[in-house]
Amino acid sequence: MSAESAQTNAVESPDLIRLSGVRARGRHGVFPAERRDGQWFTVDAVLEVSTRAAGRSDRLDDTVDYGVAAELINARITGEPVDLIERLAELIAGDLLALSGVQAVEVTVHKPQAPITVAFSDVTLTIRRQL
């Protein structure tokens, strides 16, 4: 097999855009105090994309604008409350998958102020979704 045909047959790995620590106050949770008082949520997201075209053109419209992705995450954290971080993660994943060029996402929701009665540093949920 020639080097050219090996390249043609090789599966291309996706490029990854990582957003770490998008932080905002939200009112998500099942308890009345969580809805009333709110709490801090942090989201990390990994977007699987191809950056080949942008790497050649040096044009923002040939890639995924991570500023837009961060704004979508922030809007979900600060927006309409949901009971579970599972639902919040699912909504964020759907928003990010709707961005042109995103093939798959991994979303981690951090809830460090979760109403737990023992000492802890964080509660996280990570989901992966793809088109």
Which residue blocks in the chain are alpha helix, DSSP H?
3-9, 32-37, 52-57, 66-78, 85-97
Angle between helices 66-78 and 85-97 (to 10 degrees): 150
Q: Which residues are catalytic?
A: 111
What gap in Å lies between CA 26 and CA 98, rounded to an integer?
Answer: 22
Give the end-to-end CA distance of the chain in Å, rounded to a whole number.
32
- Tens of pLDDT, residue by residue over 41-76, are 999 999 999 999 999 999 999 999 999 999 999 999
Asked if 88 and 126 touch (Cβ cutoff 8 Å), the reply is no
Burial 82-99 (b: 16+ CB within 10 A, else e): beebeebbbbbbebbbeb
> Using 50, 70 and 90 to split pLDDT, how confident is the model at 94?
very high
pLDDT at 101: 96
- Tens of pLDDT, residue by residue over 77-88, are 999 999 999 999
Residue carrying the six token digits 């109403």: 115
